[in-house]
Amino acid sequence: MPTEPKYAKKFSTFGFHNGFPYCVSKVDATLYNYVAEMTLEQVSNLYYNFYSVTHPTISVSDGTYTRTIPEGDMVVGTVIDEGVDYNSLTPTPLPSYWICQSGGFFSFNSVKDPFSLASAGIELRNPRIVEFYDGDPNNGGTPTGGWGVENILNIYSGIVLYKVNQTFYRSYGELIDWEPDEPDNSPILRDSWWWNKGFMGYYYLEDSTSIPNSVTKTRLNGIPILRVEYTGRDSQVLDNTWTVPSLQEDTCLNFYEYPPS
């Protein structure tokens, strides 16, 4: 966790509905089994001031090769991909830059062993904000007063082509009337989190096992959010030792501070 405040220069925008880099999604909360609503202040803090997430050691072994991401701070703007064809670190962007990326700002630290299929990583995005409605927002639904985010943080560890262990965080998911697609249909079009299986690691999950093992409401630094866990996915591989560690959820997020006027 940063030992000194990470200050940022003050800047201004026109707010969520005017001059914003994307349209805030309106979500009918009555359609989903799981919803964790934030306040407008909480979601604004995540969007404008999010700096890094503090994580434990993430490791993976296929019985022969081991890859590890040591415990530390995953900083917004970091891009590290070891064991592929590059290993780079971008300068940490100030909020006034990365919040204006209409396609979202994607940060990751991924390690892959070049001689095996072992892969581990932690990834985060600047939040894609949603506003919750009671009923269809385009047909008389009313705002609930709650806000949320789509996938913001993912930690994964596993063997490529086998079922990966991962935990990711978001504000809503699981359509109440959801049914699996037929085998020949594309799952990518389904509006449910296990068809949109998170970030890296999504292609490690077989469709038949893509439903989470658990979904729980938790808090990150006091901010309500869902923790979606895929666990016990390593049973098909012998001599494996991969884990997805638990975050210290009450202190894991770090934020920019703005100097006094």
Query: Is 7 inside any structural domain?
Result: no
Residue 179 pLDDT greater than 80, yes or no? no
> Residue 183 gets which letter from DSSP?
T
In-domain check, residue 11: no
Distance CA(241)–CA(249), nearest Å, equals 24
Residue 13 lies in a domain: no
Quote the domain boundaries for residue 79: 25-255
Residue 20 forms part of a structural domain: no
Q: Is residue 236 part of a domain?
A: yes
Q: How many helices (H) and strands (E) does the chain have?
A: 2, 17
What is the model's pTM? 0.81
Question: pLDDT tens, 57-99?
Answer: 988 887 777 888 889 888 887 777 775 544 454 556 666 666 6
- The number of domains in the chain is 1
Q: pLDDT band at 234, cuts 50/70/90? A: low
* Residue 48: φ, ψ to 5°: -90, -25
